[in-house]
Structure 1
Amino acid sequence: MKDLQALREKLSSLDVELLEMVARRQEIVAEIGRVKSSAGRGTRDYAREKDVLNLARQTARRVGVDEDIGEEMFRLLIRASLAAQELDKVTSERTGSGKRALVVGGAGQMGQWFVRFLDAQGYSIELCDPKPAASGHPRFATLDDTDLAHDLIVLATPIRESVSLLEQLTSRKPTGVVFDISSLKGPLAGSLQNLVTAGCLVTSIHPMFGPDTELLSGRNVVFVDLGVPEATATVRELFSSTMAEQVSMSLDGHDHAMAYVLGLSHAVNIAFFNALSQSGEEAEELAKLSSSTFDAQMDVASRVAEENPYLYFEIQSLNTHSPRALVTLLNAVTQVAGRVLDGDEKGFVELMAQGKAFLARRPEDRP
């Protein structure tokens, strides 16, 4: 047992050294990021990442470590490096220095994300939310309690609540840039147009990521210009120092796409975990027999199950394009069931081939 204890102590010492080396690596990464920024170069260098991953696999092979483990370790390090460089760039540019930002719904999860994001850019942050927030910024319970003399006003609120808030803003005509982050735009269309008609600087965006996101590389931010290009340009600038992809869409085009990107994917997972819960099978027993496909689906479904059910219902019920997507899902499930119950192997294989052909058209640079 003494030998075992000695080996464990040696291993713990090595673990500490590994983390110390990671810290030193991050210091060098920060220096590289600053050099890139001063030279006007982008944060991400895909060619360099490929070289680093190739080196990881070669080194792993040479020292007798599984190559996949070596590559996965370095992918994690690259991701941490990019997140650190992105945050450093956002913070160093200080585009919001001397400006005020009001985050309505700032105590919520996405509200808190925007609080951190704008705070890093130097904005003086205030919250409008009846609920307290952990961030410690000045907070107002309602819009009536604020002077609305802010350079930015962010609506990070539920869809129905956003409609009412936009109407309140229309009556007060704030001079700063106003934008919502709603998952749907159709229900807000009339209220957004009222703000435009009132002469306000207003635009609309949809961050296609969750509140736990730290690195924006590979993430999309959808911009819906409402005919006020100055407002859209201001909000685009907020993300210019990040690696987020900025996507332009029309208001109706956005909601049509969201019926499938959000609505359909949510519905599939909700149907999946409800089918399991109604099957009479025990989750513990299924876990013992799980496969790679089942585990992957369970991981996604488990994350969906933890989301806000009221928001998810709004995304389904308030989108005028949802019925078509849901009927398409029903038809697809019926087709699969029909092929199986009829013993139609050819038809089943054709369904698989049809799906495979569709998925093959997905760009290679997407996850």
Structure 2
Amino acid sequence: MRIGIVGSGAMGSWLRQELSSLHRVLVFDIDRTRSDVSSLEELVRWAEVVIVAVPFWAAREVLREIAPMASGRLVMDIATFKRGVVETYSEFPLDAKVASVHPLFGPGAPSIKGQRVLIMEVPGRQGALEAFRFWSELGAVVEWGDLAKHDYYVSRTIALSYAVGLALARIYAETGEEIFKYGGTSFRYLAAYAFSLLRDPNAPRYAEEAPLEEFIKALSRGDLPKALLDPDAAYKAFYKALEALKDLYG
């Protein structure tokens, strides 16, 4: 199958590597040094399946450009947030198949095999079943997602994690390196996550989507929250995760 990836940086390159074992893959990147073709039109005309792997704030315009050329193709976005993106599929011809997809991992994953991918049906359009089969055949663990609920939950998982992580990174950086002398197990875990976000120049854009008012209200409450995971099992898993950080801290 001919797969066209409209990429932007690491995720597009990672997908190319993973998909190339089963399919013929070409990439069009805004960084032309990473592109296999000279234009978006050339990519879409060649491809049977098009994956739009650009940041969520750029996905809508890319989909608009693809729409007039999408006949007979399966087009999928992997935008982190779907607001304003999914609506663009209404501009696609009726014989185009479309689906909105959310890979629940980043380009640091060792392989696509075993990684979770959500598939969401675009209301009134075909293509979700084809998308489900496509990612399943790659070895991903594919699940159905609810488009209406997607952004609500992602703002409280990905976006809030970015917001908290970036805030911690700023606090730690302003405190200075001596903080490492006094930091215990929780600090080591949180600092590794917080500073890892700095490799992503788009991190502040994701953090902007976090429900900070809700977070601040939660901070002010003194009661313990309901446990969605077994606290004892979570504590053991937490220490196992810390083992992987030994090389970072010595």
TM bracket, shorter-chain basis? 0.7 to 0.9
Q: Quick one: structure 1 residues 216 and 143, their matched pair in 2 at CA, closer, same or farther if it must change by over 3 Å?
A: closer
Measure the CA separation in 1 of the matches of 2:44 and 2:216: 50
Task: Tell me, yes or no, if structure 1 residue 306 matches structure 2 residue 199.
Answer: yes
Task: Tell me, yes or no, if structure 1 residue 272 matches structure 2 residue 168.
Answer: yes
1:96-115 pair list within 5 angstroms: 99-105=1-7, 108-115=9-16
Q: 2:41–2:66: 8 Å Cα contact kept in structure 1?
A: no
Shift of 1:243: 4.9
Q: What is the DSSP-based 3-state SS (H/G/I as helix, E as strand, rest coil) of the residue aligned with 1:187?
A: coil
The match for 1:76 is: none
Q: 1:186–1:252: 8 Å Cα contact kept in structure 2?
A: no
Q: 1:102–1:127: 8 Å Cα contact kept in structure 2?
A: yes
Read off the aligned partner of 2:79 and give its amino acid letter.
S
1:175-190 pair list within 5 angstroms: 175-190=72-87
Read off the aligned partner of 1:330 and give its amino acid letter.
I
Measure the CA separation in 2 of the matches of 1:206 and 1:297: 25
Q: What is the DSSP-based 3-state SS (H/G/I as helix, E as strand, rest coil) of the residue aligned with 1:233?
A: helix
Alignment: residue pair count = 236
CA RMSD, aligned part only? 2.8
Shift of 1:163: 0.7
What's the TM-score, normalizing by structure 1? 0.57
Spell out, residue by residue over 1:163-218, the C-alpha distance to the aligned partner (whole angstroms, 9 max, x if none): 111112222333211101110111202202322x6431111101111112124465
Q: 1:148–1:174: 8 Å Cα contact kept in structure 2?
A: no
Measure the CA separation in 2 of the matches of 1:275 and 1:131: 33
The match for 1:333 is: 219
- Structure 2 unaligned runs (5+)? 239-250
The match for 2:248 is: none
Q: What is the DSSP-based 3-state SS (H/G/I as helix, E as strand, rest coil) of the residue aligned with 2:20?
A: helix
Alignment match of 2:24 (pick from 124, 127, 133): 124
Measure the CA separation in 1 of the matches of 2:31 and 2:12: 12
Q: 2:3–2:24: 8 Å Cα contact kept in structure 1?
A: yes
Spell out, residue by residue over 1:80-119, the C-alpha distance to the aligned partner (whole angstroms, 9 max, x if none): xxxxxxxxxxxxxxxxxxx2111111x5211112111221
Read off the aligned partner of 1:332 and give its amino acid letter.
A
The match for 1:294 is: 187
More strand by share: 2
Shift of 1:358: 4.2
Shift of 1:223: 0.8
Measure the CA separation in 2 of the matches of 1:334 and 1:297: 21
Measure the CA separation in 1 of the matches of 2:106 and 2:44: 30
Q: Quick one: structure 1 residues 147 and 111, their matched pair in 2 at CA, closer, same or farther if it must change by over 3 Å?
A: closer
Measure the CA separation in 1 of the matches of 2:191 and 2:184: 10
Read off the aligned partner of 2:5 and give its amino acid letter.
V
Q: 1:159–1:187: 8 Å Cα contact kept in structure 2?
A: no
What percent identity do the matched residue pairs reach? 19
The match for 1:37 is: none
- Structure 1 unaligned runs (5+)? 1-98, 336-346
Measure the CA separation in 1 of the matches of 2:113 and 2:44: 36
Measure the CA separation in 2 of the matches of 1:144 and 1:224: 26
Task: Tell me, yes or no, if structure 1 residue 263 matches structure 2 residue 123.
Answer: no
Q: Quick one: structure 1 residues 361 and 168, their matched pair in 2 at CA, closer, same or farther if it must change by over 3 Å?
A: farther
Shift of 1:230: 5.3
Q: 1:166–1:191: 8 Å Cα contact kept in structure 2?
A: yes
Measure the CA separation in 2 of the matches of 1:110 and 1:147: 19
Q: What is the DSSP-based 3-state SS (H/G/I as helix, E as strand, rest coil) of the residue aligned with 1:186?
A: coil
Shift of 1:232: 2.0
The match for 2:48 is: 151
Task: Tell me, yes or no, if structure 1 residue 282 matches structure 2 residue 179.
Answer: no
The match for 2:70 is: 173
- Which structure is richer in relative contact order (CA contacts within 8 A, separation 6 or more)? 2
Q: Quick one: structure 1 residues 217 and 200, their matched pair in 2 at CA, closer, same or farther if it must change by over 3 Å?
A: closer
Q: Quick one: structure 1 residues 217 and 124, their matched pair in 2 at CA, closer, same or farther if it must change by over 3 Å?
A: closer
More helix by share: 1
Task: Tell me, yes or no, if structure 1 residue 315 matches structure 2 residue 206.
Answer: yes
Measure the CA separation in 2 of the matches of 1:178 and 1:268: 34
Q: 2:86–2:100: 8 Å Cα contact kept in structure 1?
A: no
Q: Quick one: structure 1 residues 226 and 296, their matched pair in 2 at CA, closer, same or farther if it must change by over 3 Å?
A: same
Task: Tell me, yes or no, if structure 1 residue 212 matches structure 2 residue 108.
Answer: yes
Q: 1:170–1:198: 8 Å Cα contact kept in structure 2?
A: no
Measure the CA separation in 2 of the matches of 1:128 and 1:139: 6
Task: Tell me, yes or no, if structure 1 residue 251 matches structure 2 residue 151.
Answer: no
